[in-house]
């Protein structure tokens, strides 16, 4: 399989990541609409239920779940965008540039923030009735460490490439 160009693994990955990015943006739009519409729907439904003596439709726990979804979608979108930037450098020549080391490092930090948010929202769900589980997996932490190791490898690779380019 070719390394770059049409039909290469990089181009297939880029296509997949672009589709993922569109889906994530749609998810963001959906969540934003939900955030605006839910209070009104709640008021209308609450009034309607009020006539029949029913309870409120939307609780604060629902907003916690939406906020959690916003955070996880944000992290995913950030990671996908950074990975697309990395693939772009592959298309334009060598991937061993300092920018890619920074991209991988920021991806690592974003994943850390994502896991932290997951735990924080999970803890918040304990005091509310929000449906967010604290189910952090060891493999996720291993993946985060792998990304940081990759960042270091790319950093050293970029330094070696620069040295090679400046060897006469």
Partner 1 sequence: MAISVKLDRILLDRGMSLTELSERVGVTIANLSILKTGKAKAIRFSTLEAICHELNCQPGDILFFDDEDNAVKAAE
Binding site for partner 1 (CB under 8 A): 162-163, 166-168
Q: How far is the CB of 150 from partner 1 (least distance, A)?
A: 25
Task: Select 139 or 168, whichever has its Cβ closest to partner 1.
Answer: 168
Q: How far is the CB of 97 from partner 1 (least distance, A)?
A: 16
Q: Distance between CA atoms of 80 and 113, rounded to whole angstroms?
A: 15
Torsional class of 94: left (φ above 0), alpha (ψ -120 to 50), beta (otherwise): beta
Task: Select 86 or 158, whichever has its Cβ closest to partner 1.
Answer: 158
Q: How far is the CB of 165 from partner 1 (least distance, A)?
A: 8
Handedness of CA 78, 79, 85, 91 (dihedral sign): negative
Task: Select 131 or 156, whichever has its Cβ closest to partner 1.
Answer: 156
Q: Distance between CA atoms of 147 and 114, rounded to whole angstroms?
A: 14
Q: Distance between CA atoms of 17 and 119, rounded to whole angstroms?
A: 26
CB neighbour list of residue 31: distance below 8 Å, 6 or more residues apart: 66, 69, 70, 73
Q: How far is the CB of 167 from partner 1 (least distance, A)?
A: 4
Q: How far is the CB of 168 from partner 1 (least distance, A)?
A: 5
Task: Select 1 or 168, whichever has its Cβ closest to partner 1.
Answer: 168
Task: Select 137 or 167, whichever has its Cβ closest to partner 1.
Answer: 167
Q: Distance between CA atoms of 89 and 96, rounded to whole angstroms?
A: 8
Distance separating the N- and C-terminal Cα atoms of the chain: 33
């Amino acid at each position: 399989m070719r390394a770059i160009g049409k039909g290469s693994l990089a181009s297939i990955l880029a296509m997949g990541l672009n589709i993922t990015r569109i889906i994530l943006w749609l998810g963001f739009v959906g969540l934003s609409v939900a955030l605006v519409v839910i209070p009104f729907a709640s008021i209308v439904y609450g009034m309607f239920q009020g006539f029949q003596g029913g309870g409120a439709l939307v609780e604060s726990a629902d907003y916690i779940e939406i906020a959690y979804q916003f955070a996880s979608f944000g992290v995913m979108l950030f990671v996908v965008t950074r990975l697309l930037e990395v693939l772009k450098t592959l298309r334009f020549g060598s991937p061993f540039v300092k920018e890619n080391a920074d991209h991988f490092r920021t991806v690592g930090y974003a994943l850390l923030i994502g896991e932290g948010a997951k735990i924080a929202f999970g803890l918040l769900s304990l005091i509310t009735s929000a449906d967010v589980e604290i189910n952090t997996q060891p493999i996720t932490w291993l993946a985060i460490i792998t990304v940081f190791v990759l960042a270091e490898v790319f950093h050293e690779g970029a330094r070696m490439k620069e040295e090679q380019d400046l060897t006469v």
